Amino acid sequence: YESALEVYTQQAFPSGWASTQNNLGNTYLYRITGEKADNLETAIACFQCALKVRTQQAFPTDWAMTQYNLGNAYSNRIRGEKADNLETAIACFQCALEVRTQQAFPSDWASTQNNLGLAYSDRIRGEKADNLETAIACFQCALEVRTQQAFPSGWASTQNNLGAAYSDRITGEKADNLETAIACFQSALEVYTQQAFPYNWAMTQNNLGAAYSNRITGEKADNLETAIACYQSALEVYTQQAFPTAWAMTQNNLGAAYSDRITGEKADNLETAIACFQSALEVCTQQAFPTDWAMTQNNLGAAYSDRITGEKADNLETAIACFQSALEVCTQQAFPTDWAMTQNNLGAAYSDRITGEKADNLETAIACFQSALEVRTQQAFPYDWATTQHNLGIAYSDRIRGEKADNLETAINCYQCALEVRTQQAFPADWATTQHNLGITYRNRIRGEKEQNLETAIACFQSAIETVEYLRDEIISGSGIEEYKTKLAEQWNRLYLGIVEVCLELEDYTQALEYLERSKNRNLIELILIREFAQLFPSEVVNQLRELQIEIASNQKLLQTGTADNPTNLAQHLKELRQQRNSLQDKHLAIGSRFKFEQFQATLEENTAIVEFYIGRSRFFTFIFTRHSQQPLVLSSSSDDLDELIDWTNAYLKDYYQQPQDWSNQLSSRLQKLAEILNLKEILQELPKDCNQLILIPHQYLHLFPLHALPLPENPGKCLLDKYSQGVRYAPSCQLLQLVQNRQRPDFTHLFAIQNPTRDLKYTDMEVEIIQSYFDSAKILPQTEATKSAIDNTNLKDSHCAHFSCHGLFDFQNPRQSALILAGSETAATKDSQLVTLRDGTNYNLENCLSLNAVLELDLENCRLVTLSACETGLVDLRSTSDEYIGLPSGFLVAGSTSVVASLWKVNDLTTALLMIKFYQNLQQHLPVALALNQAQTWLRDVTKQKLVEWMSNLPLRRETKQELKNTWNWYKPQTKLYNKPEYWAAFCAIGQ
């Protein structure tokens, strides 16, 4: 073209010169080599040259074509004010449409409508909502001509653009707009295949990922996984070498998806997000792509704001620096919406800032939010306005300067404003978040009647909980994504904590206990309900519930996949179906979100007391009740007590894992201290005098400690076990106890046992050989026969007792990989996703062990007792803030057993064998499981060497084994209590019925 212009001068060949200028401009418009900004400036100059000759009067069609091209160049222009460039582009396209009419030039008219729609999509001036409506109208006009049959690639391009406009649309329901956007992108992909149109396919995958990232319908975790997959697909084409800017844009979007990701570890996801943003910044420099650079800086700041790894104070300083960098480009004049978004994010970072004076930081945060609201008006940007109002409410709630009462009133007003947009129907998760914060603010409110404020706080929490439990219901049971329910429970546990504490403040102890229970063990309860549906409900009710559940699942799938004809009506119908199901279920078994204290209380035996602990934000509470209590009695600790409990726990665990000898030597004194911290003396004083059976329900890390071994305050040498003639047992929650008590397991004649699979437990063979003699029939898998495949091929449905005498492993990092070690599982491998390692350094292949996941698949429908005669089998997930009670005992309770006996630490082989033999002897006397275990424990604690030798002499043992044991004890005096230390006798606890 440049060579042609040496001949085609404007004077000699004006028409040819203009045509060549136009073509040269188009080439610069799409040029890849060189600086993009320079190329676009050259393109604009070329088109403007062409228009000196190509006037509307003389060459109308050519004039319109060049106006169209000039509009494209201004749409993409980097230099100058973006707002001005887009206005010029719109004017150019509108000029082109004066000639390019639908009747005269249908194809050109459609192309111009399409590009005019793009310009309106990006337009800065005017109302954003109006601009997007205009853009959508333009794209829909283009599709009148650009049909899939006549212009497949043009149709796909406009479908993609229409999807992008619906993704950002403000008018209408956000959820519906995003479903329309997804449908448009999926339509575009019918033509834009990776093989035929790799670049366009990648672009549409990127846009589809953005829509799924923001999607409201369906499960959030699934949507984000789909978004990540879309971005990763786009990156197959968008490489850094071939398409650097598109690669950088997609890295930015991928980072945003990882920032919000639910699946996987949050800390890891944020590190991945940060890496993505930093990759994007390799291309998106401030000089070359200032707007993209600013947007990525904003996103990087958001990731650092939430970052878990590293020092929180440092992360927030980095976040603030990123937001301030973004504001160098995103000025209020040039990019008002981006400026407002960044001001909002900067305000949030200052709200959380650790460095500097807290009072100053909050004032800066408030100023940022108020700045953002200059652009984020309710009319123009309702959702963003509501988000900033919510954040402003948080800042005023925490504000130090000014009158506290005034600040709280302002916070309440901000939250109420946010709820005008953040409705339960349109944005359920946001609605719940704002209701939660509003509840906290009413709880702290100074003005008004205190009791009325607390009642309002409860109403806010209840509304949020109802919404969260609705979101939980949206996750289809049995879909393989139950872990999302656990994460949802952990995310929202603060809601239940808030309402429990307000109920306690109002002295409504029954409601406090009900909400406490509703926060616990939800996944386990649901798993049991699914497995034992037919046993828990009358047959006619079972049929009705099954029909309702089938209809709920099918309708839910329609909503989640976006295939419902009328999503609004279907959502309402689903709500009605769930209400029917819940009402029907409640008549027979009120658990889960409908747990009722009175119904559970009626299931308790006479003379039985429940002691349930609950760890709050600043205190812990002890709930005490019996079958006849009007409401639970609640004892409250001080904040110092909670601090002391946390310090005690940290010291206990540190010594257990790092200084086991110190842990052992100090266990007795530590339990004495724990009894004082938990205020055991006052608890015992509040228990009825005729109480002969105690059920302990720990909370969070209290599950790790032998509460049954707490020493009695005024009876030296005795502990809780000694006080209750019918025993002390444990339950994860009232609800799980209620479920297992419904199981009728009268028979106890058939034993299944695993015996010393690794052949390194000296007394395990003795233990199992004696125990099996107490049963009419026994299926024993000894030593090398005790493999995973052997268990898989054994019908456990007929077993009344399952006894596992082996090594155990609890994995604190991944509790579902906790396992019982079986034969053939030891491996020399050091790197494998299925590898587990005992603390002695031995590696085992998890696939050949009985992991928690495998336990959940067992069928123990006739099992009365599972005994886990191994190390650390009673430990549970410490990281689960929702108290999901994830550990081997929960697996066996779900599998069908009514009781589980498990250990809380690394137990001694010999003392475990002695304890287990005595335990099963007691069971032969028809004692309940807990009482049989308790009596075995006090026996082992108190038995003298002389009595132990006599007892051992009556066991059916080989002569050499008896002699070996005598030699072991030979060094001690006859009256010595060999195993008096709690480490020997207190490790095991009875959980369940």
**Can you tell me the distance from the alpha carbon of 98 to that of 81, in angstroms, rounded to the nearest whole number?**
26
Share of the chain above pLDDT 70, in %: 97
Q: Tell me what pLDDT residue 405 has.
A: 97
Question: How does pLDDT run across 591-644, given as a tens digit for each residue?
Answer: 777 889 998 999 999 999 999 999 999 999 999 999 999 999 999 999 999 999
**Identity at 528, one-letter amino acid code:** I
Residue 619 tokens read as: 């205190």
C-alpha to C-alpha distance for 991 and 970, rounded to whole angstroms: 36
Pick the closest to residue 534 from 734, 747, 742, 738 (CA basis). 742
Q: How far apart are the first and last CA of the chain?
A: 89
Q: Token match 């959030």: residue?
A: 220
3-state secondary structure 50-81: HHHHCCCCCCHHHHHHHHHHHHHHHHHCCCCC
- Whether the predicted pLDDT of 102 surpasses 70: yes
pLDDT tier at 424, thresholds 50, 70, 90: confident
Q: 261, 269 in Cβ contact below 8 A?
A: yes
Q: Which of 364-368, 435-439, 537-541, 872-876 has the lowest mean pLDDT?
A: 537-541
* Residue 882: predicted pLDDT: 63
Give pLDDT, residue 484. Answer: 62
H helices then E strands: how many in the chain? 41, 17
Helix (H) or strand (E) holding 845: strand 843-845
pLDDT digits (tens, 9 = 90+) for 29-84: 999 888 889 999 999 999 999 999 999 999 999 999 999 999 999 999 989 998 99
Tokens for 472? Answer: 């939980």
Tokens of 67: 């106006």
Regarding beta strands 843-845 and 988-992, do their DSSP bridges make them parallel or antiparallel, or are they unpaired?
unpaired
Q: Is the pLDDT of residue 478 over 50?
A: no
- Lookup result for tokens 């909502």: 129
Contact (CB, 8 A) for 93 and 71: yes
> What pLDDT does residue 480 have?
46
Q: How far is the C-alpha of 576 from the C-alpha of 552, rounded, in Å?
A: 10
DSSP-based three-state secondary structure for 628: coil
Element (H, E) at 625: strand 620-626
What pLDDT score does 521 carry? Answer: 82
CB atoms within 10 A of CB 299: 23
Which of these, 245, 199, 237, 198, lies nearest to 39 by C-alpha position?
Answer: 245
- The backbone torsions φ and ψ at residue 867, rounded to the nearest 5 degrees and listed phi first, read -110, 120
Residue 26's pLDDT band (boundaries 50, 70, 90)? very high
Q: Residue 861: pLDDT above 80?
A: yes
Q: Which helix (H) or strand (E) holds 169?
A: none
Asked whether residue 927 carries a pLDDT value surpassing 80, the answer given is yes
pLDDT surpassing 80 at residue 716: yes
The band of 560, judged by pLDDT with boundaries at 50, 70 and 90, is low
Residue 383 has pLDDT above 80, yes or no: yes
Contact 112, 145 (CB under 8 A): no
Q: Mean pLDDT in the chain?
A: 92
